[in-house]
A and B are shown apart, each in its own frame.
Chain A
Amino acid sequence: MTRNITENDLILYFYSETTSEISSFITANLDKNPSWVVLLDSLKEVKSLEFTNSFPSTTTEHIILEESNIIEKISHS
């Protein structure tokens, strides 16, 4: 298989969203394409940036649960 691999292909490859055919092709030709490796390394570095997990307040949660309960009671009355 010969193929012109685009940056989009590489990004999809990184996230395992490409076809198995393209994935195999990229894997087999990585060492011949240092520019591919540069992009993949950048994607890896960005992906390693940590998002701090956050949570809504308990007040917000209670309001939502109250709302779900009220509507459930109305529909069953």
Chain B
Amino acid sequence: MTKTIIADGVLIKRYLEGNQAAFETLLKRHKMRIFTSVLNIVNDHYLAEDIFQEMFVKIIHSIRAGKYNHEDKFLPWALRIARNMAIDLLRQKKRLPTVVDSEGNDIFEHLNIFDKSQEELHIEADEISMLRSWIRRLPEEQREVLVLRNYADLSFKEIAEITNTNINTCIGRMHYAVINLRKMMEKSSVRVK
């Protein structure tokens, strides 16, 4: 039996008609992609939680005020709001992002929580942290395009709208991101699987 997926636009209409479960479905559907995108852009779990919460409160208010007119393009709209909030918050905090896990611990510490040998843990942590550090070291605008295209799976047109630029600028940033990541990969002994 195939399960029918209800379109985002329909869920939002149902929510406006008083169906709370429709909103919950919308949240559950998109929370991973939105949260992971935000986290990879800001590189701070606590900040990502703040942004995610504030973003959805803003979304709720906008929907209730009749300001949602994006039909089934909920994800690009949401990511645009999240991205603008991320920029504002980062400017306010004026600090370099660090990578923390959900407990607030630096990922380079606390690696001995699994039943593996120390060597295996170091290799695994090295690979994970190496991948994260490569992405983290990219300039913000390159990292943003990389995350939104390769993870959130938005088109370059949608990314251009979200970032208030044009498509050629976005493609150019992706190109530089690829060049920079390749350079980092080549310098590293860790190979991409």
Residue numbers of A with Cβ under 8 A of B are: 7-8, 11-12, 15, 17, 39, 42-43, 45-57, 60-61, 63-65, 67-69, 71-72, 75-76
Contacts and interface: CB of A to CB of B under 8 A. Distances in A.
A34 B12 CA distance: 48
B35 A11 contact: no
Contact of A68 (B60, B135, B182, B193): B60
Nearest to A65: B24
A56 B49 contact: yes
A42 B182 contact: yes
Interface residues of B, number: 49
B32 interface: yes
Given A15-B149, A49-B192, A65 B27 contact: yes
B57 A17 contact: no
A54 B36 contact: yes
Given A51-B40, A65-B24, A45 B192 contact: yes
Nearest to B61: A71
B151 interface: yes
Contacts of A64: 27, 53, 56-57, 60
The 9 closest A-B pairs by CB, nearest first: A64-B56, A51-B151, A8-B171, A54-B36, A68-B23, A56-B52, A56-B35, A68-B60, A46-B178
Interface string B163-193: 0000010011011011101100100000011
Nearest to A70: B60
Contact of B60 (A46, A50, A71): A71
Nearest to B181: A46
